[in-house]
Amino acid sequence: MQGQGTGITDVGKNSGQTKKRIGIFGLMFLLSGAAAFGGSILSVKDAAVILRNVVMTLAGTGIVIFAFTSEELNGRFVYKNDGKYARFACMYLLGLAASVLLPFLPVTGWPFLVIFVLLGVFSDGLTGLAAGSVCLLLSVNLAGASSSVFWLYFVSGAAGILVFSTLNEEFKVGLPMFLSLMILMLCLTANVILPAREQLSAAQFTIPGINLIVCCILLLVSLKLFSTAVIHRNREKYMEINDPEFPLLVQLKELSLEEYYHAVHTAYLSDRIARRLGFDDAAAKACAYYQRIGKLKGENTWENVSAICAEYHFPAKTKKILKEFVDESERIVSKETVVVLFADCIVSSIVYLFRKDAKAEIDYAQLVDTVFEKKLETDELWRSEISLAQVSEMKKIFVEEKLYYDFLR
């Protein structure tokens, strides 16, 4: 019965997500056509040109919508953009609005690098490239610019998307910023300044230089805001709930010292392993702390754990990992869940052996090897995202932690 209930919930959730996507992207499609029409009225009077701009923008927007949906379904998003349709739609429409206004500036001063990069980080590389190209094409058509203008901003924009797509949770933008600005300057020089066939002078580089400065400032400000609002949105929450003195953990300690210390040891190991493997260590640590928190409400069922997560506003990723760990009907997918699973098994095994004989001399390497063998013999991890190489590395790290295991006596 529990499996049937979960299936119905998932179907309802997917149906609601689909309706939300259709509604937001449908509105985005209509507004993009309106933006192209309004911009064309301001810049040109020829009906055929206006129609061309509207048709090309609508066709391009359709491609963008398809790319976003396809990349989401295939799980290729980098910066937690799944389901964030309104956020992306707003960014895309802002890009189109900028595209309508930019033709009133010299072509060497168009900050399209910023538009491409932001569209990329608010979706993914493919979608960002498609969306940036539609915005750029609209500006080029409205300004009546040459194809070289399109290609210089397309190439520099694509380079910007690629270098910024490699950022990790630390979100260090120094090198990507330098590389993208250098490529933009090279493209401006090769496509605008050199073909002018004039003697090179400082004046020729004034507007391109201003463009670089504006792009640098806009990228720094917007990426800082993006990092705060998206990448590290849950940092403070994790700092709060991963504190051993957090009220929930204090309640667990009062309920059972055994459960509390099991959570503390599992959290320590999960944090260490996840950090070394480059996984989300904060989420893994939180899952390890609260894997048995349902006992505060009686049994450690997913219903009880879920209710506590909702009451204390746990981050979505932590709730997802906890569901995979606690709910027997749920398949293990996340790498962080795998880490917590092995940490929990190893801590439980060592504590069990020490209970039988507090002075026992345990071969920790042999114990870790046995735990891994038994887990890998089952189909429990078949659908997980973790690779065999990562499992092998995780096993090695667990063995290296043998000095810590004596604290479990």
* Same-domain pairing of 239 and 214: no
* Same-domain pairing of 371 and 247: yes
Q: What is the CATH number of the domain that holds 279?
A: 1.10.3210
For 253, the domain range is: 235-408
* Same-domain pairing of 217 and 322: no
Tens-binned pLDDT, residue by residue, of the chain (409 aa): 333 333 333 334 456 678 888 999 999 999 999 999 999 998 777 899 999 999 999 999 999 999 999 888 877 776 667 678 898 999 999 999 999 999 999 998 999 999 999 999 888 889 999 999 999 999 999 999 989 999 999 999 999 998 887 665 556 778 888 899 999 999 988 888 777 666 667 777 888 889 899 999 998 888 877 777 666 667 778 888 999 899 999 999 999 999 999 999 999 999 999 999 988 889 999 999 999 999 999 899 999 999 999 999 898 889 999 999 999 888 888 899 999 999 999 999 999 998 888 888 889 999 999 999 998 888 888 888 888 899 999 999 999 988 888 888 7
Domain stop point among 231, 266, 285: 231
Q: What amino acid occupies position 240?
A: E
Residue 156 maps to a domain: yes
* Same-domain pairing of 272 and 340: yes
289, 343 Cβ separation under 8 angstroms:
no
* Same-domain pairing of 161 and 110: yes
State residue 139's pLDDT score.
Answer: 95
* Same-domain pairing of 206 and 323: no
Q: Select from 401, 101, 115, 393 the least CA-distant residue to 269.
A: 401
Q: Select from 128, 136, 189 the least CA-distant residue to 159.
A: 128
State residue 176's pLDDT score.
Answer: 85
134, 61 Cβ separation under 8 angstroms:
yes
Domain stop point among 204, 231, 258: 231
